[in-house]
Structure 1
Amino acid sequence: MTGASLPEDCSKQWEILLLLISSEEKKIDRTSENEIDTMSYFSNNEAVRKIMLQWLQQMKSSYGKKINEFDTALKCDDVSLLWRQRGNDNFRANLIEESYRCYSKSVVYAKHNGPMYPLALANRSASLLRLKRFKECLADISMAIESGYPAEQQHKLLLRRVDCYIELGQRSNARSALTAATQYSSTLNLSDASALEFERHVKILEKKLENPVCVELEDDDQLPDLYGGSNADFNAASSAIELRRSETVGRFVVANQSARRGDVLFSEEPYAWVTLPSDEPSCEMCCQPDINLVPCSRCSRSVYCGVQCRARAALAFHRWECVGAQSDLFPTIGIAHLALRVLLLSTSQGFPMVPQQSTKPTTALELFKCYSDVDDIQIYKEGTPAFYRMFNLVTNFDKMNNNDYIQYALTATMLTIYLEHFTTFFEYLPSRVPYALSGEQLQLFAAAIILRSLGQLVCNGHATLSLSTVEEDGGRNGRTVTEREVRRATAIYPSAAMMNHSCEPNIINTFYKNRLIVRCASELSAGGEVYNCYGPHRAREPAARRRAQLRAQYMFTCACTACRDNDRKDFVLLFSAYVCQSCKCPVPVSEKRARCQQCCADFQLNRALAMIDRADDLALQAERASNMEERCEKMLASYKMKQQVWHRHHSSLRAAADKLARIYADLGDFGRSIELIKQNIQSLEYQFGSFSVEVAHELRKLSDVMLERIFKLPGHPDYRYWCLEAHKIMNKAVQLMELNYGKWEVLVKRLKEQEVFVASLLAECRTPDTTDCVHQNLHYNLKI
């Protein structure tokens, strides 16, 4: 190792260090050793410990400081001031969204006991008021005042508070707040100009109080109930399912009664979770997305949705993670951050007593064995400590490549050294373990928990998802938006982890903050097994590739129905197939020459590829076109050319149709746009199923274009027909989005508002004789 060359950036050294050290460590025998034995070996390896400690110190010195004038790991009022000044410039230029982002950075970097923090909060509250985010504005006002906002300026914040209460329809609070603001201002020695300005604002607010205000309804985020009630024998599960065990597949989940599509089978809080780095951060405590962020009081790397979540996180885990967050440690080590979090949360909750044990364990090995010596079905009963369910998840260490196992052990060693040298964790741990273990044994126990968790998380972890909406073409001329699934966090759900894999699952995973809600994706018969999909899906990848991925990560060969069915295992190849010029059947191509399996005609791949190149060139010309008409003409020519080469279900042909549909919508040619989107929906239904998330997104897109047509052409003879069709599509879009994401998603709420709006238009233009015939004459009928 002494001659090895490492990158100068120490964060990029980590994987190389693991490879170098693991290549020299050959003394691990997993046929006879357990996690305690492995970590005992590395805890006594002074050379490895020295390398790890030196690397951690480098990370802290490199990242735990002011990086540049715009960024710092620790608090810095100079950086905060810079961002607040940028926010002021944007606010004066009426760039309110950008001002809000700048003020948020100012809040993050300001010292909490310094003068910049309340100023940044107060300025951000002004942006929030303009953005109509009134509850968040109130929270910032309260924090600014509590943090020492200058007394001579507080009357302005108090009036802003009144405005928020008025907009929220809280008239009693508004009147009380207005009285308090007026009384407070009378205690100040305001200049004549300031007093006049204050009185002017008071009169404006008094007038607003006299007028009725349209109040937004409170968010209805009531979570769905478990189908048939909760299961006392299966934590966080429905009474309609049960946990079983067999010699061949281990633990698995079956239905003990029939269930319908949409019924909730699991509703589970995670045992542990970590949020992922993102430009749109989520709360590190509850995983709430789209937050008005409240930062850690010591570092500028951890953010929360409010002061309550910040306080809870500090007690549960962040007091031990703060230095690591400052040092940029956790983005560097990936899934190992969640393994550390398992240890920290287990410690915070307190390790449980061992069951029915006559002798008290005095070593880490004895304690580990006691925690393992349990009935792996009974530990899922309600009232059993959650730690047992986490501890007894499979690790697959016995099937794992030796180098991978050693790298996990080295990572656990490094994190133990981090806790030992950069935190006071090991001073706290003895009070949370119910048995008197020595300091050395406690460190060994903690290290082994991290190693065990790493193995468990690789084959049991979940990515928590939510929707993020973006404008197409950066908002340029666009009337349409699209949404993308965003990975907010990685979490572990011990009960839901009991579901086995199928490449054609019968459940849908949805997330509310960090809670996992599992619904039936199709009808479930009594006695049928409940299957999750661990990643590879029959509609997205061929059987051979799916099996290879599952073997690599989960250490098993998939034998699900989709993989066994020879007629369907290469079903996905249809969506990358060319079209036979003779019979129009699909031609999957893997070589330069191919033959149609239906009519045996030769297929000239080189000729097809040349036509696609010309079509792509036309599409590029369309993107560069100076006006929308020319853009549409060239994109249409490109699309028609691709239709001659690709099969009608080709995924890239769908993408080309989508681009053309957006251009038609921007030009106001809604009829053609709608027909293309319907065409794509039919293809997506064929590939993913009528209730799939892919169809849900396309229906949402279709409803947007239909609504735009209604807005733009209110006097058209077909106006009522359009309203009827749009209402039908929106209703189906709401059903599918709720099924796949939950009614709490912002996009679902927006769709519901659109559905109600179109229903009101229908009520206004109702005629007695047309309803039935219109529904019979709709051009497109979904399979739903």
Structure 2
Amino acid sequence: MDEARYAWLCSSVTLQSDKRGFFIQLAESVLESAGADWLSKFGGLKNDKQRVIACYNDREVRELVRGTLANVQKIFRSKNASFAKTKREEADHFYSKHKLDKALQLANQSVVRAPLPGVDPKVEDGLTLSLCLRSRAMILFETKDFELALSDFQLSLKYKLPEKYKADAYQMMGECYLQLGMKDKAKVSIGVAKNMATIKKFSFTNFRKEMNRTKGSEKSGTGTDGLPTLYDGESKAVPCLSSNLSMKRSDIAGRYIVANANLPVGAVVSVEPAYSSVLRMEKHGSHCLHCFKRLKCGVPCPTCSGVAFCSSACQTKSLTYHVWECPFMELMIGSGMSVVSHLSLRMVTQSKLQYFETFISGLKKPGTDHPEPKDFLFRTLMALLLLQILRNSGYFGEKGSSGIDDLTEIEIWIGCLLLRHLQVTQYNAHEIYETLAKQTDNTGNTKTNYMAVGLYPASALLNHDCTPTLARYFIGDTMVLRVERPLFTGEEVSENYGPVFTMKTLDDRQKSLMARYKFRCICEACRGKWPMLSQLTEANVTLKCRKRGCKGTYNLPIDQNKLENWHCSKCSLENRVEDQVALYKSYTSDYERGCSLLVQQEINECVNVMSEFITNCNPLISQPNRNVCLAMEVLRACWSSHANFYIL
């Protein structure tokens, strides 16, 4: 495949990831209808406003474009009280048989499909949702998931649980609080239950005994966010980065980040929440729409049945954006749009229209990107599709137009903003992942599961290197970057955009980076044509000259029976090879111990041993080195086990 074709494929997948969607049909039809002359004229336009107006108004394409946009309508997975009632009854049946896994599965289906109170009064007086939540709470209490059970009991009361079940719900809440160590709240809940009517069937004797038996201090029920602390505090110049990092500029590299102090292995140099992030559509049923936590029991969206949340708090936080996206979720899926396109929309829906009106002047400036006319056309069409979703959602309020024929000035500028987002996100979005491990696997093997994408402005300043200096992992949608080999003052701090030398050949890396990010990598691994990890053996060892600052190296011969001292080709210093080999062998024993600790799941000690191994090897051994590369892989796996980590 020629480079131009490959570059087009890499670019197009950032717009539409599902070839079966209708968007690609629209784009190809517009391209064919417009003709070569119009496309050439379109490619010569100077700013995004001209591009948006051309695609919307030019006679060559307007009928096809407007005709398709006129069909944009609310399509989403709606609620169904009858379905929810049936699933709840099935869940209750399996609960009575103590088949709790099956019962929970059915209860989850019932909760997601149940409408808000009063929406369908013909089914259970419109109270199906509260009854479904109550049933699920009983199952969760039986499985000893007391925190989740408590949440469901609370929600059932919020959604108007029938009076005859309320006392029972408050007593069960008291039991949950007690099991969670929150004795004061347990007393309040039980007190409410006792004061309600028809409570003779409840026995509070056992509750009092349990209260007396449970010793220890009252638990608040809250915890820390689990985020690590930046090494030496936060930078005043670049928020979210360590104060030990500085930004530089050059004609070749543009903006880049360097260390302004020595940084040890494990130093946390970035803790950055996403400016904007979006869950992949295929993960809507398994992860929280807002924080990306894996779901065991989802809190439903009030309107649609296509997404869920891990808590009421996440549900509330999502209302700023999901209220605009919710009615069009199935349409967005049907369009085949990529998660990056969805991210471009989310960057608008997460803020009110008034927020963007202050930035209109910045949109009048020409963009810095100069993609091919076809690519610009397709991105402009996607921007118009996203704009039409916003128009039909009511996002623009009184400032929006009423029909398909005309766009208001603010609608045009938001269309320009969407187009700008589509240009920026394709280069700067990070894939957010979780780490999966099997319960029965004690080998340390894990799998990366990509579940979302996010935009991180500070971390986006870091340039690519095929042998990165940083490890990346996520806690929710917060990205954490840690040093995985010693860094010295003035050294560039880089991360990896995907192609890493251990897994990809030089040709594959260069081809991928040029097609996807429009640059040719000149990192040390590329200049030195380093072999892949599969081609390295433990016998491939390159020693460094012991003179500080010298770049001289020596490839240790495979046959080490007759080792001779070597003179550095850079500084002529004689190096005692036997001493260097003996030192490396002693370090290798630490590496082997670290691998054993990983198998034994001694994660913290494994991190300490591997960090020391990498630190000790740094002045002695030059990359590429198999053991050093694998040690850094182990560190990444260990660090990520404290983040978005899930045991299957």
TM-score in terms of structure 2 length: 0.75
Task: Tell whether 2:461 aligns with 1:564.
Answer: no
Determine the structure 1 residue equivalent to 2:451.
Answer: 488
Equivalent residue of 1:333, what SS? coil
CA distance in 2, matches of 1:560, 1:298: 50
Determine the structure 2 residue equivalent to 1:125.
Answer: 137
Mark the runs of 5 or more structure 1 residues left unpaired by the alignment: 1-8, 65-72, 355-363, 373-394, 431-437, 473-477, 578-583, 586-597, 600-684, 705-724, 751-784
Determine the structure 2 residue equivalent to 1:743.
Answer: 642
Match of 2:213 among 204, 211, 225: 211
Q: CA deviation at 1:553?
A: 0.7
Equivalent residue of 2:256, what SS? strand
1:10/1:58 contact within 8 Å kept: no
Across the aligned residues of Structure 1 and Structure 2, the Cα RMSD in angstroms comes to 3.8
Tell which deviates more after alignment, 38-47 or 22-31.
22-31
* Structure with more relative contact order (C-alpha pairs < 8 Å, separation 6 or more): 2
Task: Tell whether 2:539 aligns with 1:526.
Answer: no
1:83 alignment partner AA: K
Determine the structure 2 residue equivalent to 1:136.
Answer: 148
Alignment of 1:539-558 (within 5 A): 539-558=502-521
1:263/1:520 contact within 8 Å kept: yes
CA distance in 2, matches of 1:730, 1:10: 43
Q: 1:508 to 1:308 in 2, by over 3 A?
A: same
Alignment of 1:100-119 (within 5 A): 100-113=104-117, 114-119=126-131
Q: CA deviation at 1:499?
A: 0.6
1:118/1:145 contact within 8 Å kept: yes
CA distance in 2, matches of 1:212, 1:425: 52
CA distance in 1, matches of 2:526, 2:225: 39
Match of 1:427 among 397, 408, 424: 397
TM-score in terms of structure 1 length: 0.62
Alignment of 1:623-772 (within 5 A): 702-703=599-600, 736=635, 740-741=639-640, 743-744=642-643
Determine the structure 2 residue equivalent to 1:295.
Answer: 300
Match of 1:459 among 408, 414, 427: 427
Alignment of 1:224-235 (within 5 A): 224-235=228-239
Determine the structure 1 residue equivalent to 2:369.
Answer: 397
Determine the structure 2 residue equivalent to 1:340.
Answer: 345
CA distance in 1, matches of 2:591, 2:242: 25
CA distance in 2, matches of 1:732, 1:279: 39
Equivalent residue of 1:465, what SS? strand
Determine the structure 1 residue equivalent to 2:403.
Answer: none
The Cα offsets for residues 502-536 of structure 1, whole Å up to 9 and x where unpaired, read as 11000111211111111111111111111110001
CA distance in 2, matches of 1:151, 1:555: 64
Query: Normalized per residue, which structure has more helix?
Result: 1
Determine the structure 1 residue equivalent to 2:120.
Answer: none
2:424 alignment partner AA: Q
2:502 alignment partner AA: A
Alignment of 1:23-62 (within 5 A): 23-25=32-34, 26-45=39-58, 48=61, 51=64, 55=68, 60=73
CA distance in 2, matches of 1:479, 1:223: 27
Q: 1:726 to 1:238 in 2, by over 3 A?
A: closer
Determine the structure 2 residue equivalent to 1:283.
Answer: 288
2:383/2:418 contact within 8 Å kept: yes
Q: 1:701 to 1:20 in 2, by over 3 A?
A: farther
CA distance in 1, matches of 2:309, 2:334: 17
Equivalent residue of 2:186, what SS? helix
Q: 1:405 to 1:240 in 2, by over 3 A?
A: same
Q: CA deviation at 1:211?
A: 2.5
2:244 alignment partner AA: A
CA distance in 2, matches of 1:183, 1:260: 61
CA distance in 1, matches of 2:492, 2:387: 40
Q: Give the number of equivalent residue pairs.
A: 544
Alignment of 1:591-602 (within 5 A): none
CA distance in 2, matches of 1:226, 1:143: 38
Mark the runs of 5 or more structure 2 residues left unpaired by the alignment: 1-17, 118-125, 401-405, 541-556, 559-586, 612-633
Q: 1:109 to 1:57 in 2, by over 3 A?
A: farther
Q: Percent identity?
A: 21
1:38 alignment partner AA: R
Q: CA deviation at 1:233?
A: 1.2
1:516 alignment partner AA: M
Alignment of 1:264-413 (within 5 A): 264-276=268-280, 277-278=282-283, 281-290=286-295, 292-314=297-319, 316-329=320-333, 332-334=336-338, 335-347=340-352, 350-351=355-356, 353=358, 366-369=361-364, 397-398=369-370, 400-413=371-384
Equivalent residue of 2:350, what SS? helix
Q: 1:11 to 1:156 in 2, by over 3 A?
A: farther
The Cα offsets for residues 626-672 of structure 1, whole Å up to 9 and x where unpaired, read as xxxxxxxxxxxxxxxxxxxxxxxxxxxxxxxxxxxxxxxxxxxxxxx
The Cα offsets for residues 380-406 of structure 1, whole Å up to 9 and x where unpaired, read as xxxxxxxxxxxxxxx7731x3332222
Q: CA deviation at 1:10?
A: 11
